Structure 1
Amino acid sequence: MEMSPVLAPHGPAEQFAAGRRAAAAALAAAGSTERTVPRARDGRPLFPQGFAGSISHTGRLAVAAVVPGAEAVGVDIEPTPITPRMAAFLLREQERRLLLAPIGSYTARDLFAAKEAAFKAMNCIRTLGEFLFWQIDLGQSDGALIATYRGESVPLWIRSEADLSFAVAIRR
């Protein structure tokens, strides 16, 4: 995983460029000789053969994760706190009850980032059809966070700081 700051004036062009810089650095760290990540017609980044990757950005920071040999990778960063009303829409009642503090160890922003990352990693599975990220179920298995949709699952890793939540999903 690599990060790149978004340069002023922090607009869409600067965010795109920062994402591609982060992706090039992540590819280099993963051992790829190819560092260019073009954009597919639908906007998704096209990583080189044998290197699954994902890019996410805010107005100030871009991140990219690359995993050689993985089927798919999803990454998301979220700086915006999730209100209780938004959490009620985005998270199922069981997710709120078991995963959010005080019982669970996650914030609503963490779980939002987790669903976004899982969606990116699972969206490549053509048998799942079209779906929306909030339809993914989050749960725990042996202390690990797992995202599930229509019988398919992907593990998640979350890192949370005071002003940012970061999530990665890797489908092997």
Structure 2
Amino acid sequence: MLPLSLSNAVPKRKREYLAGRLCASEALMRAGYPQPYFPAMGTDRLPVWPQGWLGSISHSGNYATAAVVRQECHLLLGIDIQQQVSEKTMHAVQYLIAKPEELSLIEGLDDSRRLTLIFSAKESLYKTLYPQVRRIQEFDAAKLVQVDVHTLTFALTRDWSDAWKAGTCIGVNYAEVSDYMFTAACIGNDVSGSLA
């Protein structure tokens, strides 16, 4: 189940890969896929899902997670899990991830948890859109514009592709468990115009 490209990887990377694939297989079975399936790593390093299915895998710290949906109802899916960043890390990377006005929109969390949440949500957003746009984006390519209970709404700050223009809004759901942030974006097939 471990791809040849990871044969010389450090043990931690191998464990993360295998844990993610086990989560993916379990998610597929729970969603109704008829047999065990462990997504291979494609040439683009993305998981290869069974025909008719979409999925996303993430891992951080001691946890791995996966989510799957049927393609007949959904166009795109991306998830992320992030362990809370330390104060030292926060001060070193905050300027790359979120502007002060983005952080100020989130109430009830300390600065480190706010940054972890925005980082994870942007990762979910990027993982959601990447299979269509096939272009790496920096963190400033999306801006947090609204915060609701369990949903962050981001506006794209530039065109990602012909289909995903600047100003398009996309909602990312979130949950905090212990010192981890879980985020997910799922876009339906009936999408048109602005999303939330």
TM class by shorter-chain length? Answer: 0.7 to 0.9
Segment drifting more, 11-20 vs 45-54: 45-54
- Give structure 2 stretches of 5+ with no counterpart: 1-9, 157-165, 189-196
Determine the C-alpha separation between the residues in 2 that align with 1:109 and 1:153. 21
Amino acid at match of 1:75: I
- Give structure 1 stretches of 5+ with no counterpart: 1-8
Deviation for aligned residue 1:40: 1.1
Query: Among 36, 48, 58, which residue is 2:60 paired with?
Result: 58
**Is the contact between residue 56 and residue 63 of structure 1 (CA under 8 Å) also seen in structure 2?**
yes
Q: TM-score scaled to structure 1, two decimals?
A: 0.80
Structure 1's 22 and 102: CA in aligned 2 closer, same or farther, altered over 3 A? closer
Q: Deviations along 1:51-85, whole A, 9 cap, x unmatched?
A: 21100012421100112231111111111415144
1:31 aligns with 2:32: yes
Determine the C-alpha separation between the residues in 1 that align with 2:135 and 2:105. 28
Q: Secondary structure at the match of 1:48?
A: coil
Determine the C-alpha separation between the residues in 2 that align with 1:18 and 1:130. 25
Question: Which residue in 1 is equivalent to 2:18?
Answer: 17
Amino acid at match of 1:56: S
Determine the C-alpha separation between the residues in 1 that align with 2:148 and 2:176. 20
The equivalences for 1:152-163 within 5 A come to 152-163=168-179
Determine the C-alpha separation between the residues in 1 that align with 2:24 and 2:110. 36
Structure 1's 152 and 45: CA in aligned 2 closer, same or farther, altered over 3 A? farther
**Is the contact between residue 87 and residue 108 of structure 1 (CA under 8 Å) also seen in structure 2?**
yes
**Is the contact between residue 154 and residue 170 of structure 1 (CA under 8 Å) also seen in structure 2?**
no
Q: Secondary structure at the match of 2:22?
A: helix
Determine the C-alpha separation between the residues in 1 that align with 2:155 and 2:174. 16
Q: TM-score scaled to structure 2, two decimals?
A: 0.71
Aligned residue pairs: how many? 162
**Is the contact between residue 122 and residue 154 of structure 1 (CA under 8 Å) also seen in structure 2?**
no
Question: Which residue in 1 is equivalent to 2:192?
Answer: none
Segment drifting more, 54-63 vs 111-120: 54-63
Determine the C-alpha separation between the residues in 1 that align with 2:167 and 2:57. 25
What is the percentage of aligned positions where both structures have the same residue?
Answer: 27
Amino acid at match of 1:156: V
Determine the C-alpha separation between the residues in 2 that align with 1:164 and 1:102. 13
**Is the contact between residue 67 and residue 79 of structure 2 (CA under 8 Å) also seen in structure 1?**
yes
Structure 1's 133 and 48: CA in aligned 2 closer, same or farther, altered over 3 A? farther
CA RMSD of aligned residues (A): 2.6
Structure 1's 10 and 59: CA in aligned 2 closer, same or farther, altered over 3 A? farther
1:75 aligns with 2:75: no
Amino acid at match of 2:83: P
Segment drifting more, 70-79 vs 94-103: 94-103
Structure 1's 20 and 87: CA in aligned 2 closer, same or farther, altered over 3 A? same
Determine the C-alpha separation between the residues in 2 that align with 1:39 and 1:108. 30
Structure 1's 36 and 131: CA in aligned 2 closer, same or farther, altered over 3 A? same
Question: Which residue in 2 is equivalent to 1:4?
Answer: none
Which of the two has higher C-alpha Rg? Answer: 2
